[in-house]
Amino acid sequence: MNKLPWNRKTFIARLQRVGAASYHNKHPFHGLMNAGELDRAAIQTWVANRFYYQVNIPIKDAAIISNCPLREVRRVWLHRISDHDGAQGNEGGIEAWLRLGAACGLSRRALIAQQHVLPGVRFAVDAYVNFTRREPWPIAVASSLTELFAPDLMTKRLEAFRHHYRWVHPRGLDYFARRLTQAPRDSGEGLELTLQHCATREMQEAAVRALQFKCDLLWAMLDAINAKCRR
């Protein structure tokens, strides 16, 4: 017997429940970061490994666009690529993260060459990119909805760096500051697309699983980073 689709309110509640239980803001590593209890090496390890995630975001978004036959959806999603890659010069989120690396004392060349990327982080990020390549585009969009929970995390992260990690030059914090406005915009767009195009119960349940997968992936990245920092 086919299940009836959830109504809008119930569907949103199901998605929100995933973030409330599993988003990586609850990971012990973030707790230590926000409390100012990480040393310089730990911050550098996190920045270097998170950079691998950052450089794969536009690749993930390009995969979603390549699978989507709807021009109106591609138009909505396209800005995410330029938000990270930039159109030219030193704009874009990837360049902002490279400035964060420099502010933390990391070599730009080493970051770009991915010299510090841990196997667990690489495996998790690659799994995410492959997920967005093979899944129907609405499900891949749903996996991006971790952005629903990002603004609060980003606010706390920015406050923590400004207060506890003053050795990080302020110009390196631009990425965090810009995501305070980008993340709510992006999550709003992603949520509306998910609600509109995941209209059957089967698609809705797949969207919830996709969001859980993304939360697990982000958690696994921090597990690998935390393990490295505690050796």
Q: pLDDT of 34-73, one tens digit each?
A: 999 999 999 999 999 999 999 999 999 999 999 999 999 9
The answer to whether 210 and 136 have CB atoms below 8 angstroms apart is: no
Least confident of 49-53, 66-70, 80-84, 88-92: 88-92
What would the mean pLDDT of 188-210 be, rounded to a whole number?
Answer: 98
What does the pLDDT read at residue 1?
Answer: 62
Hey, where are the domains in the chain? 8-229
Does 98 score more than 70 pLDDT? yes
Assigned fold of 8-229 = Heme Oxygenase; Chain A (1.20.910)
Q: Assign 2 a pLDDT band (cuts: 50, 70, 90).
A: confident
pTM as predicted: 0.95
Q: With pLDDT > 90 as the criterion, what percentage of the chain qualifies?
A: 90
- Reported as a single tens digit per residue, the pLDDT across 161-193 is 999 999 999 999 999 999 889 989 999 999 999
